């Protein structure tokens, strides 16, 4: 891969392109992007360093590897304009709901890899679900994996689990943000300044996640280790159970999975 092009430069593409440049995995001068709002694109280009391009065709012509990062419903229109020009190139899609088969049925001779990313990629802590069914040549696949591993964790997923995986890790940052906001509200309610509250809560979330990942301990065991008999933490745990935390979390995924059936 020599030249990386982004179709769409919104939240997700900025997270990926910005992360790759920050981590020095890809030279900003070898990254190109197209988006309809050219003023916004140029501003982001100045911030991140990539080359803004003013047409889809120019973007595809300039790059050997193209990342589709526009909204899922815009992809048919994009492919109708540049589908033929993608022949012989690598296509990486980060669009929710688009799988290898949906691209393969519309394109010829394109090396395709669908990925479900999440925005913590911006700080090198992303999750990238790689659809197991793909048509990247082995050497390119290895390069693409290495590239995304620099931005977080890469997990191979069968096609049938891409939807649920995306619901948990792609939508998940919003849920974690809500939990952080809620605990910060509680801290503020009892007198802690807002900024301090976010710092305290975010670091607690980060530290708890790291502790689980590094020890491999069951989250329930880690929770038990913090709950002393007749102590304060177990009272908080009981209150969360009483107020349906577990059920609320599972239901937040149910509504996503139900919406995919519509």
Catalog residues that contact ligand NAP under the rule CB under 6 A. Answer: 7-13, 35-37, 40, 69-72, 74, 77-78, 94-96, 116-119, 170
Minimum CB separation from ligand NAP for residue 139, in Å? 26
How many Cα neighbours within 13 Å face the side chain of 262?
A: 6
Measured from the Cβ of residue 194, the count of other Cβ atoms closer than 10 Å reads 11
Between CA 12 and CA 34 the distance in angstroms is 14
CB of 48 to ligand NAP, least distance (A): 13
Residue nearest to ligand NAP (CB): 10
CB 43 to ligand NAP: min, Å: 11
Compare residues 76 and 225 and give the one whose CB is closer to ligand NAP. 76
* Min dist. Cβ of residue 4 to ligand NAP (A): 16
Give least dist CB 7 to ligand NAP, A.
5
Of 166 and 197, the one with the shorter C-beta distance to ligand NAP is: 166
Nearer to ligand NAP (CB atom), residue 78 or residue 107: 78
Query: Where does residue 164 rank: exposed (0-12), middle (13-18), buried (19+ CB within 10 A)?
Result: middle
Select 172 or 200, whichever has its Cβ closest to ligand NAP.
Answer: 172
Nearer to ligand NAP, 49 or 234 (CB): 49
């Amino acid at each position: 891969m020599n030249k990386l092009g982004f179709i769409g430069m919104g939240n997700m593409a900025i997270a990926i392109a910005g992360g790759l440049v920050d981590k020095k995995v890809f030279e900003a001068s070898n990254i190109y992007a197209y988006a309809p709002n050219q003023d916004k694109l140029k501003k982001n280009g100045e911030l991140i360093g990539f080359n803004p391009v003013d047409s889809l065709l120019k973007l595809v012509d300039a790059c050997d590897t193209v990342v589709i990062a526009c909204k899922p419903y815009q992809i048919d229109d994009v492919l109708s304009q540049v589908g033929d020009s993608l022949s012989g190139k690598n296509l990486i899609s980060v669009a929710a709901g688009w799988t290898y088969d949906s691209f393969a049925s519309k394109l010829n001779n394109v090396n395709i890899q669908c990925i479900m990313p999440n925005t913590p990629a911006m700080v090198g802590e992303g999750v990238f679900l790689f659809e197991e069914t793909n048509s990247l040549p082995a050497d390119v696949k290895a390069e693409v994996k290495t590239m995304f591993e620099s931005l977080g964790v890469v997990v191979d997923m069968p096609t049938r689990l891409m939807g649920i995986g995306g619901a948990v890790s792609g939508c998940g940052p919003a849920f974690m943000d809500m939990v952080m906001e809620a605990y910060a509200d509680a801290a503020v309610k009892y007198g802690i300044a807002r900024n301090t509250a976010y710092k305290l809560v975010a670091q607690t979330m980060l530290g708890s996640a790291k502790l689980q990942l590094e020890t491999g301990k069951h989250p329930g065991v880690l929770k038990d280790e913090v709950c002393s008999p007749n102590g304060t933490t177990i009272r908080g745990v009981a209150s969360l159970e009483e107020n349906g935390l577990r059920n609320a979390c599972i239901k937040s995924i149910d509504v996503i999975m139900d919406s995919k059936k519509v």
